[in-house]
């Protein structure tokens, strides 16, 4: 029987007892891990040749038949799930199974804690609507010349959308479906902070358990950027490459390469089961990893001309700085992201009671977009100093593309599995990029170890997970074996 007593404040790190992953590498944490170890690139050319160059290559997760993943009583609600929700719901089911928890909507008495003591914190993005549905409504609202007509929208356009249409595309629907399916009646929240959403959601769930408001939590994030509108958003913020149709998919995303062309659209979700210290041991479950500390910060740059706030986290082609051709150049100033990321990392280390020399590896965004990679390198150097040059880096963007809100939790999943297996995943990237190589000098990323390498065994005690995000949010976690 689950306990119904008031949660108590833990005295040791929160345990990760389950990891659920849906990614272009497959369903489940095992498929995800095997793909990373093998160094597999899941980016593929799309079969539609008329797509614009920035949409020719994508990294798509497997198609999901939600009838296979939902209890019979809940299947009617599948029509209210956008792709983002589907990814997160399946990842949550996999996480619960990995932890030895009951499945969705199973008998509550089998759960590790009472529903009131189970929290759900899920990061999400602004979900792009399905083009066919929206196109019908927009067409009905056009006048005789094909121009938008507000009056026709009210009279004819809105009627093309079902009354529940909006529910599919609300960011909080990921957490909503997960909470209902897993009877999580404790604290619940949705964080929409770009690529930092997953790490921030995990950190908040940890704090909820630490302060005694829950015994356990489902936490992580999900996002799909392969919708046509979502792809266009990525293009407008300068994140996407425009490769030729015959490009090698494995050569497109090149982290820490000054000549990198950008990324491709990706999708995925990673959800964790988090439990109070001792709870897993009481159930005979060995934790996969522990969360030792977290930190966050915010970059708020201003426009040099007007002094008004500027949007950080843009790629160089959209006005970002710190990259080749951006304001300040490769070695120049970033847009505040480097400093903010350094603060987040430093806070996480301090809360973990560790210093830079205690880290065995760092899992980073490594966007393959020079402006972002430059700022990230500045952040690592600002927080870790001379430890940066010798620190093993790991990343997943060349494997999965740009997954935005899902990126932080997928990165954390890779880090937790690395600790569990005591092995670093293969590192895809440039072999001989100009200026690449720790300690060679000349550019921010020349101070980090970024050359490609196969998967290797490693003695891992403490690893860092860190990312910045469009809008300036930066987040970091320190995980321990």
450 versus 398: the higher-pLDDT residue is 398
Q: Are residues 115 and 229 in the same domain?
A: yes
Q: Are residues 216 and 346 in the same domain?
A: no
Q: Are residues 126 and 55 in the same domain?
A: yes
Question: If pLDDT is split at 50, 70 and 90, which confidence band does 443 have?
Answer: low
- Note the pLDDT tens digit of each residue in 351-367: 999 999 999 999 999 99
Q: Above 70 in pLDDT, residue 439?
A: no
392: domain CATH number?
A: 3.40.47.10
pLDDT-wise least confident of 34-38, 157-161, 383-387: 157-161
Instruction: Look at residue 385 in the predicted model and tell me its pLDDT.
Output: 95
**Dihedral sign computed on CA atoms, order 100, 106, 109, 111:** positive
Residue 3 counted as domain residue: no
CA dist., res. 270 & res. 478, Å (int): 17
Mean pLDDT in the chain? 89
Q: Above 50 in pLDDT, residue 309?
A: yes
- Note the pLDDT tens digit of each residue in 278-303: 888 888 889 999 999 999 999 987 77
Tell me the DSSP string of 411-476: HHHHHHHHHHHTEEPPB-S-SS-TT-STT--SSGGGGSB-S-B--EE---SEEEEEEE-TTSEEEE
479 versus 315: the higher-pLDDT residue is 479
Instruction: Look at residue 442 in the predicted model and tell me its pLDDT.
Output: 53
Q: Look at the block and give the residue holding tokens 């990237």.
A: 429
Is-contact 180 75, C-beta < 8 A?
A: no
- Note the pLDDT tens digit of each residue in 19-65: 999 999 999 999 999 999 999 999 999 988 788 999 999 999 999 99
Q: Are residues 272 and 368 in the same domain?
A: no
Residue 373 counted as domain residue: yes
Residue 412 counted as domain residue: yes
Which class for 107: exposed (0-12), middle (13-18), buried (19 or more C-beta within 10 A)? exposed
Instruction: Look at residue 331 in the predicted model and tell me its pLDDT.
Output: 35
8 three-class SS: coil
The average pLDDT across 326-342 equals 64
Q: Above 60 in pLDDT, residue 326?
A: no
Which class for 55: exposed (0-12), middle (13-18), buried (19 or more C-beta within 10 A)? buried
Q: Above 50 in pLDDT, residue 1?
A: no
- Note the pLDDT tens digit of each residue in 209-247: 999 999 999 999 999 999 999 999 999 999 999 999 899
Domain range for 444: 292-480
Q: Which two tokens stand for residue 195?
A: 């690529």
Q: Are residues 268 and 313 in the same domain?
A: no
Half-sphere exposure of 35 (CA within 13 A, CB side): 26
CA dist., res. 87 & res. 91, Å (int): 6
Q: How far is CA 100 from CA 93, 253, 287, in A?
A: 11, 37, 11
Q: Above 60 in pLDDT, residue 440?
A: no
Is-contact 448 377, C-beta < 8 A?
A: yes
74 three-class SS: helix
Domain boundary among 257, 290, 323: 290
Residue 235 counted as domain residue: yes
Q: Are residues 312 and 193 in the same domain?
A: no
The average pLDDT across 126-136 equals 85
Domain boundary among 237, 259, 290: 290
Q: Are residues 307 and 220 in the same domain?
A: no
Residue 225 counted as domain residue: yes
Q: Which residues of 13-47 are buried (b: 16+ CB within 10 A; e: fewer)?
A: bbbbbbbbbbbbbbbbbeebbebbbebbbbbebee
Q: Are residues 243 and 329 in the same domain?
A: no
Residue 204 counted as domain residue: yes
CA dist., res. 250 & res. 255, Å (int): 12
Instruction: Look at residue 146 in the predicted model and tell me its pLDDT.
Output: 86
Q: Above 70 in pLDDT, residue 325?
A: no
Q: Are residues 64 and 213 in the same domain?
A: yes
Domain boundary among 290, 312, 333: 290
Return phi, psi of residue 272, to 5°.
-115, 145
Total domains in the fold of the chain: 3
- Note the pLDDT tens digit of each residue in 180-217: 999 999 999 999 999 999 999 999 999 999 999 999 99
Q: Are residues 185 and 271 in the same domain?
A: yes
Instruction: Look at residue 83 in the predicted model and tell me its pLDDT.
Output: 96
Question: If pLDDT is split at 50, 70 and 90, which confidence band does 328 have?
Answer: very low
Percent of the chain with pLDDT over 90: 69
pTM score, whole prediction: 0.92
Instruction: Look at residue 282 in the predicted model and tell me its pLDDT.
Output: 85
Q: Which residues of 222-250 are buried (b: 16+ CB within 10 A; e: fewer)?
A: bbbbbbeebbebbbebbbbbbbeeebebe
Instruction: Look at residue 110 in the predicted model and tell me its pLDDT.
Output: 66
Q: Are residues 114 and 235 in the same domain?
A: yes
Question: If pLDDT is split at 50, 70 and 90, which confidence band does 164 have?
Answer: confident
CA dist., res. 399 & res. 357, Å (int): 28
Q: Are residues 210 and 300 in the same domain?
A: no
Q: Above 70 in pLDDT, residue 116?
A: yes
Largest CA distance in the chain: 69
The average pLDDT across 326-341 equals 62
Question: If pLDDT is split at 50, 70 and 90, which confidence band does 11 have?
Answer: low
Residue 255 counted as domain residue: yes
Residue 2 counted as domain residue: no
CA dist., res. 439 & res. 250, Å (int): 26
């Amino acid at each position: 029987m689950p306990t119904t007593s008031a949660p108590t404040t833990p005295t040791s790190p929160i345990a990760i007892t389950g990891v659920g992953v849906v990614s272009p590498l497959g369903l489940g944490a095992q498929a995800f891990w095997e793909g990373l170890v093998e160094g597999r690139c899941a980016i593929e050319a799309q079969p539609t040749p008329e797509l614009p160059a920035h949409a020719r290559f994508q990294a798509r997760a497997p198609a999901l038949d939600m009838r296979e993943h939902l209890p019979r009583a809940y299947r009617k609600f599948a029509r209210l799930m956008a792709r983002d929700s589907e990814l997160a719901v399946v990842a949550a089911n996999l996480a619960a199974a990995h932890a030895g928890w009951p499945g969705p909507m199973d008998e509550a008495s089998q759960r590790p804690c009472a529903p009131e003591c189970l929290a759900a914190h899920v990061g999400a993005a602004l979900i792009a609507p399905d083009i066919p549905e929206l196109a019908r409504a927009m067409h009905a609202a056009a006048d005789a010349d094909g121009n938008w007509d507000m009056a026709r929208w009210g009279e004819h356009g809105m009627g093309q959308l079902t009354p529940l249409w909006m529910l599919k595309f609300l960011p909080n629907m990921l957490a909503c479906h997960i909470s209902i399916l897993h009877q999580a009646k404790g604290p619940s929240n949705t964080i929409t902070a770009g690529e930092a959403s997953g790490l921030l959601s995990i950190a908040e769930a940890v704090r909820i358990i630490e302060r005694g408001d829950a015994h356990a939590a489902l936490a992580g994030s999900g996002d799909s950027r392969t919708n046509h509108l979502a792809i266009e958003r990525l293009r407008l913020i300068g994140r996407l490459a425009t490769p030729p149709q015959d490009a090698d998919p494995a050569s497109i995303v090149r982290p820490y390469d000054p000549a990198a062309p950008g990324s491709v659209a990706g999708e995925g979700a990673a959800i964790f089961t988090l439990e109070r210290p001792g709870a897993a041991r009481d159930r005979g479950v060995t934790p996969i990893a522990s969360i030792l500390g977290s930190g966050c910060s915010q970059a708020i740059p201003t426009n040099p001309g007007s002094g008004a706030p500027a949007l950080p986290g843009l790629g160089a082609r959209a006005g970002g700085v710190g990259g080749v051709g951006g304001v300040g150049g490769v070695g120049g100033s970033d847009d505040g992201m480097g400093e903010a990321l350094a603060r987040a990392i430093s806070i996480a280390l301090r809360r973990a009671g560790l210093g830079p020399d205690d880290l065995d590896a760092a899992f980073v965004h490594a966007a393959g977009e020079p402006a972002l990679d430059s700022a990230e390198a500045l952040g690592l150097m600002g927080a870790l100093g001379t430890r940066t040059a010798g620190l093993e880096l790991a990343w997943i963007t060349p494997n999965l593309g740009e997954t935005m809100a899902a990126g932080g939790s997928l990165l954390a999943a890779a880090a937790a599995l690395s600790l569990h297996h005591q092995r670093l995943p293969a590192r895809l990237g440039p072999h001989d990029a100009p200026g690449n190589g720790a300690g060679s000098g000349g550019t921010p990323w020349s101070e980090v170890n970024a050359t490609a390498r196969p998967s290797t065994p490693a003695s891992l005690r403490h690893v860092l997970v860190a990312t910045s995000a469009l809008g300036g949010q930066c987040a970091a976690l320190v995980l321990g074996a």
